[in-house]
Amino acid sequence: MKRLDRKILGSAMATASWMYRQTSGYRIPVSASVLLGVIRIAASFSFIWISKEMIDMAVRSDGNLTKYALLLVSALVAEILCSVAQGYVNVRAEAGIRNSLRSRVFDRALNARWNGKERWHTGDVVNRLEEDVRVIADTLCHLVPGALVTMVQLVAAFVFLWTMNPVLAWVILCILPVFMALAAIMARRIKKLTTEIRKSDSQVQSVLQESLQRRIVIIALGRMEYVMNRLVSSQNSLMEKVMKRNRFSMSSRAAMMTGFGTGYLTAFIWGVHSMQDGVVTFGMLSAFLQLVGQIQRPTADMSRRLPAMIHAMASAERLMEIYDAEQEDIPSTDNAPTFIPDGIRLENVTFGYPDANRKIFRNFTHDFRPGTSTAIMGETGAGKSTMMRLMLGLLKPESGNVIFYAEDGSCADASARFRSGIVYVPQGNSLLSATIRENLIGGKENLSDDVIRNALYMAAAEFVYDLPDGLDTKCGEGGEGLSEGQAQRIAIARALLSDGRIMLLDEFTSALDAETESKLMDRLTENYTGKTLVFITHRKEMAERCENVVHVSRT
């Protein structure tokens, strides 16, 4: 049990440390928020003290009420100004942390190493990038600073109450922790339920996103009722877990509220009896009740913050899963590629997917020599696309080597460092939701219209200039608005605008008619003789145009 508790504590500390690191660049505004909160608390206690003095003066009918009235107004104004300023600082810091954290986690998700199957559903990742990032930003900018200010408020209220009546202060202080302990006992169960709720929420998001992306297929197959049933089932599961957590939260809050009520009644009854005995004044009784409120309100806030903090810890762990995922070896100024590959050599490569029962390749060897054209053929599922993923360095062989090499003799193992020297055209529609121009240039603003026009010609995509908006035609989500064949040819033109000397084309003409395919192959083979061309195809006509043919069969 102790080992389990140590493990839980260690995990919580690691999560808290990770969350703290996310405040980098925003620690000054977060600290300013805490400082403003402390000043606001000081103004609030000043208000209580001044109001106590004014009440006692009014009862005694002596003293300068005007002076104290001005001080009372000043304390109230200071409290309001600090509250407004704190709110502004919090919102600004929250927006900054939210954007910064989302960008970092998104970058890690994009560059996570791929092992043949995505680890998370895209709907789940989007849910984490939206909801979990929002929760963390809110925690770092509101919850944590608020908790620190609350602790200061509790200590200050206790000291203030102690200066007026030490016994009452200790009684109040001893009552509340008993009920707070009861609330804390439920914290572990609430955290587990919160993690399950976040998973169920991601499942709902995944169903929604996937169904909207495949809406036409769902309608065509008449699967609307099936999809709606999936959504209802996911939502019911989510609702059940939310209500289960709510029952625990309500029990926790009820324990806290019982403590608050007991504390307030104790202060009130104590004060009335003391006032009857002439020990305290009416002003002191008023201060007692206000100070009990100053203890109860922050303690109530702490009771609400406990589930919120547990929620934040669960969200942080979900983001850390993505953040800690193994990353691609992305080139930087320190590990920039030393050469541009001209050829790829596979030497005794053995590979199988982790969750599969068979090896895709066993001791496979082939040299895709510089300047040659090669067709890769074979039945569906034999491993043609897997070979390209190995050549791209997306997958690592279990044994053997995939080597990038240049004609001058330079060589290196296939990895992301040298991927900029390879041009890849995947199967299907790979266009982004942007204009055709933006899809083609991909951030290379220095490309001239003549260069773009030539690439479109080589890809047999001159139709672009016949569109009403030409290069500025907007592509919908997944290339919507264009036919599959048009989208494929634009993707080929995009590849031709890259600087790589090796071109990997995976079933890149599957949506083209025979005439367009023939025209495209003629232009590629005639005008890119200096490049290494590798085609995946099922068509013998295309294979006959290549210098080499590699046959892949199921092992």
Alpha-carbon dihedral of residues 410, 411, 415, 419, nearest 10 degrees? 40
The dihedrals phi and psi of 335, each to the nearest 5 degrees, come to: -125, 35
**Beta strand 548-552 with 373-378: parallel, antiparallel or unpaired?**
parallel
Set out the domains of the chain in order of their start, with CATH numbers: 14-323 (1.20.1560.10), 343-552 (3.40.50.300)
pLDDT of residue 225: 82
The 10 Å Cβ neighbour count of residue 356 is: 10
Span 436-466, pLDDT tens digits: 888 888 767 788 888 889 989 988 889 989 8
Do residues 554 and 382 touch, judged by C-beta distance below 8 A? yes
Quickly state the pLDDT bin for 4 (edges 50, 70, 90).
very low
Rounded Cα gap, residues 307 and 348, in angstroms: 55
Quickly state the pLDDT bin for 1 (edges 50, 70, 90).
very low
Sign for the CA dihedral angle at 185, 190, 193, 199 comes to: negative
Which residues lie across from 53 on neighbouring strands? none
Residue 500 tokens read as 């790589």
Do residues 479 and 538 touch, judged by C-beta distance below 8 A? no
Amino acid at 396: K
Span 497-543, pLDDT tens digits: 887 888 898 888 777 888 888 888 888 888 877 889 999 888 888 88
State pTM to two decimals.
0.74
Which residues lie across from 535 on neighbouring strands? 375, 505
Q: Who's near 13: CB < 8 A, 6+ residues apart?
A: none
Span 53-102, pLDDT tens digits: 888 777 776 667 788 889 889 999 999 999 999 999 999 999 999 999 99
